[in-house]
A and B are shown apart, each in its own frame.
Chain A
Amino acid sequence: MKELMLGNKAFARGLYEAGCCFVSSYPGTPSTEITEEAVKFDDIYCEWAPNEKVAMEAAFGASLAGRRVFCGMKHVGLNVAADPLYTMAYTGVNGGVIIGVADDPGMHSSQNEQDSRHHAIAAKVPMLEPSDSAESLEFVKIAYELSEEYDTPVIIKMCTRVAHSQSVVETSERVVPEKKAYEKNIPKYVMMPGNAIRRHPFVEERTRKLAAWAESAKINRVEKGGKELGIITSSTSYQYVKEVFGDSVSVLKLGMVNPLPVQLIKDFAASVDRLVVVEELDPIIENHCKALGLKVEGKDLLPLEGEFSQNLIRKALGKDVPAGKAVKDQIPMRPPVMCAGCPHRGLFYTLSKNKCTVLGDIGCYTLGAVAPLSSIDMTLCMGASLSAIHGYNIAGEGENEKKTVAVIGDSTFMHSGMTGLANIAYNQSNSTVIILDNSITGMTGHQQNPTTGYNIKGNPAGKIDLEALCRAMGFNRVRVVDPYDLKQCDEAVKEELAADEPSVIISRRPCALLKYVKHNAPLKVNTDKCIGCKSCMRIGCPAISIKAGKAHVDNTLCVGCGVCSQLCPVGAFE
């Protein structure tokens, strides 16, 4: 049946059709929907793991048990899972292993735009790169075959435009291969030096065999066109190239980006007058061509940064670029903002008011850095807030600890905050940690996590008690505040900063977008009372604006959280 399908959904459909039985992932844009769609198939066991490393190791265990398995993550998640990946390359697999990683060129929802192909090269594992939904489905089947035939995990690399674009796919039935028996094999699976030394030559030989496979693989194909220009490309870049040139130039479309073929590329280069590589981010295919001694253009024409598009390629390769007309006014930017009623707002207002240095983390609450709250000082990676505040306070020699806090969400805390907290507890810096517990993984679109008490299907599951956990680590000062209550937040922050020992504040209220959260009626401004002092504007609520000198509440956005009314000196919010 023909269907219009999101790339990530097609990926999940591929997992289903290829007989995948086990999925363990951590959510991350733009990879999340692969797992969210996979869970809709009852035949596949799916879970959210606390982080990508755990997910990959769980998937490895499931592979040992003889099943086809998958774990999914965003590009930076693969850094977290790099440890198991680089050694799973040595052990190989039992049941087929696919690792789905989604890059985010253009950083629609990421903190960097690293190119995941480097991981495939460094770990010496094959990587396939689909260019649309149909290939996302098809490549899953190819990847499982490669994984089992060549005894290797296989990475399928998505990018935002493949993951989050819908295109036409044809579906077929699920075929589950027979469960493979687990056989004890110490030299293969126990990676102590004596065994790993013998596995490394296997890895190198496997790469040579896979490179030979790449020479004639159907997913690496030449589309013959004109002789004047030949373009080597992959992924969504292929689509832009075809959009601009149609069939007028020759194209070598690579479905496998590691290892890269040699003879196929040499022959293609010999068949055209001018050779250009069109690839987003780093010049990996281009450098491969250069290492083969080929005359090639690439990053001298095209940027290392951001996403490509048809106009970018038109411009780089000397084609006419269409243009539209703009209005003459400067259009105000519309950056993402914390939602109306977001429980993080009251807490960040408190931190801003107390002029705290705020070491931040990854999640919706990174928006606490945006004006007018402008509260956050640093965001690096998952869990860094808790590790960094420790270093900042120790090196500050007493100057920093009375005004510095770390903020981290509940899901991020479970992902990689606990080890940072352990460091504070163990090495005893006088650090104040705030766990922003909105009872969900928010930014990626509401995934359950180990603190919510529900699993990926929404069924009751184990629930980790944050207060008990922090106390067990040795924190004597653990307190819970309601971030809608500004007075309570202010007292807690002041007291815990003043305390002479490390402390944890749990700022607890569920995300305002959760379906089960009941909202109050929208507030209204009594314009007779409002004096137009703009005190309410300091919290940056998208529901409040100034109309004709008075505060105005947009009743389609307001959820009646009442944080604004706590700032109003005249009680104008009713």
Chain B
Amino acid sequence: METKNVMIVGVGGQGSLLASKLLGKLLLDAGYDVKVSEVHGMSQRGGSVVTYVRYGDKVYSPVIDKGEADVIVSFELLEAARWMEYLKPGGQIVTNIQQIDPMPVITGAMSYPEELVKKMTDEGVKVDALDCLKLAEEAGSSKAVNIVLMGRLSHYFDMPRDAWMKAMEAMVPAKFLDMNRKAFELGEKA
């Protein structure tokens, strides 16, 4: 199988590390060779962060380059647009519509671009946008945005639902499991 590429992008502190752990577990259990590349250190302090997840028969590079990603999962709208160039032609974006102002917007030096979903779609990219924060809160915690996104992402993976649940059980503390199951389902059905 040709190597598949999934990027998880967002703002430092949004919890993308759990999402990549869950994906890694899911794909390893399915028998693939997997590589996951993360960002630590200073960039985590509210900066733009990216995690690369690659899987297939044999994976070499730990990173994904421009024009290579099959799917980009984004925790924040501007970040989806920032990393869009990494998508291959015909690729899919799954994004939270939450907007977090970056410092140049906060200081008034720039403005947050408007209608980004439309602008991305206009470039011929498939965009699946949903309000993950609202759904996460509905599930019981604003911290479950990552699991809502994973639920939505499951549409674009050829993987049985049971496998997702199993991976989640392995990665999420037992006391939060029911809440996260609900978050997954809300994302899945949104």
Binding site for B on A (CB under 8 A): 2-4, 6, 29-30, 32-33, 108-109, 132, 161-162, 164-168, 236, 239-240, 242-243, 309-311, 321-339, 364, 366-367, 370-372, 443-445, 534, 537, 540-542, 544-546, 554, 556
Contacts and interface: CB of A to CB of B under 8 A. Distances in A.
Interface string B82-126: 101111110100000000111111111111110010011001110
Contacts of A366: 42
Contact of A168 (B34, B44, B120): B34
Given A164-B39, A240-B61, A334 B102 contact: yes
B11 interface: yes
B37 A161 contact: yes
B73 interface: no
B62 A167 contact: yes
A54 to B, nearest CB: 22
Contact count band on B: 35 or more
Contacts of A239: 60-62
Contact of B45 (A161, A321, A364, A372): A364
B78 A334 contact: yes
Contact of B103 (A32, A322, A331, A371): A371
29 contacts: A3-B28, A4-B25, A4-B36, A32-B40, A108-B41, A109-B41, A109-B42, A164-B40, A166-B24, A166-B36, A310-B61, A324-B69, A324-B86, A325-B125, A326-B84, A327-B116, A327-B119, A327-B120, A329-B119, A331-B82, A334-B82, A335-B102, A336-B12, A336-B43, A336-B44, A443-B42, A445-B41, A540-B107, A545-B101
B35 interface: yes
Interface string B26-68: 0010000111111111111111100000000001111101111
B47 A109 contact: no
8 closest cross-chain pairs (CB), A and B:
A109-B41, A322-B67, A29-B41, A336-B47, A165-B62, A334-B102, A243-B61, A336-B45
Contacts of A540: 103, 106-107
A326 B87 CA distance: 9
Given A167-B36, A239-B61, 14 more contacts: A132-B62, A164-B39, A240-B60, A243-B61, A310-B68, A324-B85, A327-B116, A334-B82, A336-B44, A336-B45, A339-B13, A364-B42, A445-B40, A540-B106
Given A336-B46, A556-B142, A544 B106 contact: yes
B129 interface: no
A364 B47 CA distance: 13
B41 A30 contact: yes
Interface centre among B63, B86, B103, B113 (most CB of A within 10 A): B103
Contacts of A370: 103
B130 interface: no
A74 to B, nearest CB: 9
Contacts of B91: 324
Given A4-B25, A109-B41, A327 B66 contact: no
Given A167-B62, A311-B66, A332 B42 contact: no
A162 B67 CA distance: 23
A109 B45 CA distance: 11
A338 B45 contact: yes
A324 B66 contact: yes
Given A327-B81, A331-B81, A236 B44 contact: no
B46 A165 contact: no
Contacts of A6: 38
Given A239-B60, A325-B124, A109 B86 contact: no
A335 B43 CA distance: 7
Interface centre among A29, A542, A544 (most CB of B within 10 A): A542
A269 B116 CA distance: 52
A236 B44 CA distance: 22
B99 to A, nearest CB: 10
B33 to A, nearest CB: 6
A348 B61 CA distance: 41
Given A329-B113, A334-B47, A556-B142, A108 B42 contact: yes
Nearest to B78: A331
Contacts of B44: 336
A29 B41 CA distance: 6
Contacts of A243: 60-61
B67 A323 contact: yes
A302 to B, nearest CB: 15
A72 B117 CA distance: 45
Given A30-B40, A331-B78, A335-B47, A545 B142 contact: no
